[in-house]
């Protein structure tokens, strides 16, 4: 028994269940889903085996071959060859293969075996294989491969027990696997020969998959199903969330009243808690139900295996504008919030396609724009019926959503034309078997999502809200001041300065002030406008009173210009921060912020000048 922990690497084809096994072995909670490329980084965990030995487990991104075609496959290749910087080659490689798909996966097993390191083969998804009547001669397979073979069911509790015992007990005896040199044709021939000897396969495909795909991928019905599904998700996000959101809003207002009730009404502390903490955080916290509902759908879709089908249907359209079908998943999540959307671009393996997707994701209308849109539309757009069936306010809202989608496609197209690298990048995307989502996994996924969101609210958003309150409260007005207090504060002065820049697009100084805290999060702008117009009360009260005030004070051209601004402007520092984290480059942040602010200014300028000429 060595004092140095043994290093075990999990490798295998994409979507064979490596991360689920990793979670089983280490008790970890890495994200698993039913599409290729969920894991894009190397993840490390450890567990203490029953023998008392500590084992380091590495979860590596899925790879079809050591002849890597994407950055995540290169990580797997380098770790396995012992060429990964700062990392010794693994002492044992656990090669994971999907038992229902050995025709494809065994070839990579043979490639791994050629490394000449100790290898254990884990036949995963044995439950699914048995259901499909696939019979595997495990002994025979082990003999033919010359490596130990164990059966696992990574999605079942205890399904990795045999693997754990194998790693623990027999590792010192696992001899380096035999090395052979073979070209790709010979490898495939060997796979065929091994399969013929050891595996009985009743039929190549699952009948249910074939039946579902006949509908899901049908040129007409497939698109209709996708459209209906998307419409249903949007409806659910907006309508199911409403009662819960009202409840949260009322709860925060009540808590705020109760807490501030103990403080003198005109004290600074009262104002800080009431206008800053409760109004500010409440405005953001209220989006938790929407985010969770959207993530519920996304997690279920991810687990089911449907998302790669949606990517299949839309690939052609997205390819024409310089994206890829794989961008569908991240762009869909960006309708809730660009932050999870940008994180989801990790499933796009091609770095060029991924960067384009990250750059256009902020153009998808995220839920934080809704309060701004709703406020302005209600104040300025008449509640007219159009052609008897449509409502003018509703049409304007849809137009704003479509403006976002259309500009994302247009921007992607421009990026495509501008880039120098015109080389062909492959789609080659595996469509997995459909799977019934696991309730426990979905529950855990939602819980983690909620925690992340609450940490954000309690951290960065709280800090910015308090900062904003200080900026608009200090310095206080001099004695005998005739103007409202905010005119003398730092925020007020800043607004006056910004007005020089923004008056050509019709923004007055009050809007300019609101844009500054609105940089932290778009919805903050509504509350900030309320403060600027010297009002107090909860966010809701501000929004409902603010409408008539701005309807009276602003021109229609100003309102339309502000709507156009919000379609484009990156009024969200968290989005820029996540672009920095995901691309590891300040340059990309500058490019995104620059082009989005530029487009926002131009769109607002055009809107304002045209609207003013017409009215």
Partner 1 sequence: MRLSDAPKGAQAVVQSVTDAHPSDPIAQRLRDLGFVAGEPVRLVARGPLGGDPLLIQIGSTRFALRKTEAARVEVFVGGAA
Nearest Cα neighbor of 220 from 149, 304, 313 is 313
CB 223 within 8 A of CB 312: no
Rounded to the nearest 10°, the torsion over CA 308, 310, 312, 314 is -140
CB 255 within 8 A of CB 278: yes
The CB-of-449 to partner 1 minimum distance in angstroms stands at 29
The CB-of-429 to partner 1 minimum distance in angstroms stands at 4
Binding window for partner 1 (CB under 8 A); candidates: 62-70, 81-89, 345-353, 552-560? 62-70
User: For 172, how many CA atoms within 13 A lie in the half-sphere containing its CB?
Assistant: 5
User: How many residues at the interface with partner 1, by CB under 8 A?
Assistant: 39
Out of 5, 92, 217, 556, name the contact with partner 1 by CB under 8 A.
217
Spatial distance between the Cα atoms of 320 and 317, rounded to a whole number of angstroms: 5
Q: H/E element holding 196? A: helix 184-198
The CB-of-422 to partner 1 minimum distance in angstroms stands at 13
**Angle at the Cα of 185 from the Cα atoms of 181 and 189, rounded to 5 degrees:** 90
CB 368 within 8 A of CB 523: yes
Out of 12, 118, 159, 222, name the contact with partner 1 by CB under 8 A.
222
Nearest Cα neighbor of 592 from 413, 272, 357 is 357
The CB-of-184 to partner 1 minimum distance in angstroms stands at 5
Spatial distance between the Cα atoms of 531 and 491, rounded to a whole number of angstroms: 11
Residue whose CB is less far from partner 1, 429 or 551: 429
Pick out residues in 150-189 that bind partner 1 (CB under 8 A).
184-185, 188
254 binds partner 1 (CB under 8 A): no
The three-state secondary structure class of 96 is strand
205 binds partner 1 (CB under 8 A): yes
Nearest Cα neighbor of 70 from 455, 445, 347 is 347
Out of 230, 263, 427, 573, name the contact with partner 1 by CB under 8 A.
427
The CB-of-325 to partner 1 minimum distance in angstroms stands at 7
Q: Binding mask 322-341 vs partner 1 (x if CB under 8 A, - otherwise)? A: ---x----------------
Radius of gyration of the chain, Cα coordinates, nearest whole angstrom: 28
CB 271 within 8 A of CB 473: yes
Q: H/E element holding 466? A: helix 462-473
Residue whose CB is less far from partner 1, 36 or 524: 36
The CB-of-318 to partner 1 minimum distance in angstroms stands at 10
193 binds partner 1 (CB under 8 A): no
Question: Other CB atoms closer than 10 Å to residue 181's CB: what's the count?
Answer: 6
The CB-of-213 to partner 1 minimum distance in angstroms stands at 7
Strands in 13-115 per DSSP E = 43-48, 54-59, 92-98
Spatial distance between the Cα atoms of 473 and 135, rounded to a whole number of angstroms: 74
Largest Cα–Cα separation, the chain: 96
Spatial distance between the Cα atoms of 491 and 519, rounded to a whole number of angstroms: 13
Out of 35, 64, 84, 335, name the contact with partner 1 by CB under 8 A.
64
196 binds partner 1 (CB under 8 A): no
CB 425 within 8 A of CB 274: no
Residue whose CB is less far from partner 1, 223 or 573: 223
Binding window for partner 1 (CB under 8 A); candidates: 163-171, 342-350, 425-433, 576-584? 425-433
Out of 74, 201, 248, 535, name the contact with partner 1 by CB under 8 A.
201
Pick out residues in 544-603 that bind partner 1 (CB under 8 A).
none
Binding window for partner 1 (CB under 8 A); candidates: 63-71, 232-240, 272-280, 441-449? 63-71
Phi and psi for 120 in degrees, rounded to 5? -120, 135
The CB-of-593 to partner 1 minimum distance in angstroms stands at 33
Residue whose CB is less far from partner 1, 143 or 320: 320
Out of 47, 278, 297, 312, name the contact with partner 1 by CB under 8 A.
312
211 binds partner 1 (CB under 8 A): no
Pick out residues in 428-457 that bind partner 1 (CB under 8 A).
428-431
Residue whose CB is less far from partner 1, 325 or 362: 325
In 344-381, which positions are buried (b, 16+ CB within 10 angstroms) versus exposed (e)?
A: bbbbbbbebbbbbbbbbbbbbbbbbbbbbbebbbebbb
Out of 313, 364, 415, 579, name the contact with partner 1 by CB under 8 A.
313
CB 99 within 8 A of CB 199: no
Residue whose CB is less far from partner 1, 87 or 213: 213
Spatial distance between the Cα atoms of 300 and 442, rounded to a whole number of angstroms: 7
Nearest Cα neighbor of 7 from 84, 69, 108 is 84
Residue whose CB is less far from partner 1, 168 or 190: 190
The three-state secondary structure class of 493 is helix
230 binds partner 1 (CB under 8 A): no
The CB-of-152 to partner 1 minimum distance in angstroms stands at 18
234 binds partner 1 (CB under 8 A): no
The CB-of-432 to partner 1 minimum distance in angstroms stands at 8
Out of 255, 265, 414, 426, name the contact with partner 1 by CB under 8 A.
426
The CB-of-385 to partner 1 minimum distance in angstroms stands at 35
Q: What is the DSSP secondary structure assignment for residue 147, as one 8-state letter?
A: S
Residue whose CB is less far from partner 1, 71 or 537: 71
The CB-of-431 to partner 1 minimum distance in angstroms stands at 4
CB 115 within 8 A of CB 80: yes
Out of 44, 190, 213, 487, name the contact with partner 1 by CB under 8 A.
213
Residues that bind partner 1 (CB under 8 A): 64-65, 67, 69, 100-104, 107, 184-185, 188, 201, 204-205, 213, 217-220, 222-223, 308, 311-313, 315-317, 319, 325, 424, 426-431
């Amino acid at each position: 028994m060595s004092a140095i922990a043994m290093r075990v690497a999990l490798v295998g084809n994409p979507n064979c269940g490596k991360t689920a096994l990793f979670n089983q072995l280490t008790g970890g909670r890495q994200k698993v889903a039913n599409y290729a490329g969920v894991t894009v980084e190397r993840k490390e965990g450890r567990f203490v085996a029953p023998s008392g030995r500590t084992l380091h487990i590495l979860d590596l991104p899925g790879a079809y071959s050591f002849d890597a075609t994407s950055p995540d496959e290169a990580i797997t290749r380098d770790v396995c060859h012992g060429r990964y910087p700062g990392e010794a080659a693994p002492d044992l490689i656990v090669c994971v293969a999907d038992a229902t798909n050995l025709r494809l996966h065994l070839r990579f097993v043979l490639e791994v075996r050629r490394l000449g390191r100790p290898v254990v083969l884990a036949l995963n998804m044995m439950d699914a294989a048995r259901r499909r009547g696939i019979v595997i001669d495990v002994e025979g397979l082990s003999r033919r491969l010359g490596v130990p073979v164990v059966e696992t069911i990574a999605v079942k509790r205890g399904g990795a027990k045999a693997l754990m015992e194998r790693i623990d007990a027999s590792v010192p005896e696992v001899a380096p696997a035999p090395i052979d040199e073979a070209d790709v044709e010979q490898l495939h021939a060997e796979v065929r020969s091994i399969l013929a000897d050891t595996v009985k396969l009743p039929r190549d495909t699952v009948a249910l998959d074939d039946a579902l795909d006949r509908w899901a991928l049908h040129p007409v019905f497939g698109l209709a199903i996708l459209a209906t599904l998307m419409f249903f998700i949007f409806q659910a996000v907006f309508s199911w969330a409403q009662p819960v959101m009202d409840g949260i809003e009322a709860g925060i207002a009540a808590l705020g009243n109760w807490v501030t009730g103990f403080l003198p009404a005109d004290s600074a502390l009262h104002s800080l808690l009431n206008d800053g903490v409760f109004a500010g955080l409440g405005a953001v916290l209220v989006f938790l139900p929407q985010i969770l509902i959207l993530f519920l759908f996304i997690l279920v879709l991810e687990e089911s295996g449907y998302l790669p089908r949606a990517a299949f249907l839309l690939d052609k359209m997205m390819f024409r504008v310089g994206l890829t079908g794989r961008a569908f998943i991240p762009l869909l999540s960006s309708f809730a919030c660009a932050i999870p959307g940008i994180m989801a671009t990790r499933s796009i393996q091609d770095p060029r396609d991924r960067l384009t997707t990250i750059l256009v994701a902020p153009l998808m209308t995220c839920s934080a724009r809704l309060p701004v849109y709703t406020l302005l539309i209600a104040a300025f757009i008449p509640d007219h019926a159009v052609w008897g069936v449509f409502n003018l306010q509703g049409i304007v809202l849809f137009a704003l959503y479509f403006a976002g989608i259309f500009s994302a496609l247009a921007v992607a197209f421009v990026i495509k034309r501008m880039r120098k690298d015109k080389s062909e990048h492959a789609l080659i995307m595996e469509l997995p078997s459909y799977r019934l989502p696991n309730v426990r996994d979905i529950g855990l996924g939602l819980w983690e999502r909620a925690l992340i969101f609450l940490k954000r609210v309690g951290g960065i958003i709280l800090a910015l809200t308090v900062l904003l309150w200080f900026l608009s409260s200090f310095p206080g007005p001099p004695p005998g001041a005739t103007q409202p207090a905010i005119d003398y504060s730092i925020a007020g002065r800043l607004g006056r300065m910004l007005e020089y820049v923004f008056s050509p697009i019709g923004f007055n100084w009050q809007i300019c002030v609101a844009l500054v805290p609105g940089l932290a999060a778009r919805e903050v702008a509504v509350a900030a406008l309320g403060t600027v117009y010297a009002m107090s009360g909860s966010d809701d009260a501000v929004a409902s009173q603010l409408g008539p005030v701005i309807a009276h004070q602003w021109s229609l051209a100003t309102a339309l210009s502000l709507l156009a601004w919000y379609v484009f402007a990156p009024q969200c520092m968290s989005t820029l921060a996540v672009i920095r984290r995901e691309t590891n480059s300040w340059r990309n942040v500058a490019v995104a912020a620059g082009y989005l602010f530029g487009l926002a200014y131009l769109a607002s300028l055009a809107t304002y000048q045209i609207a003013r000429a017409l009215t």
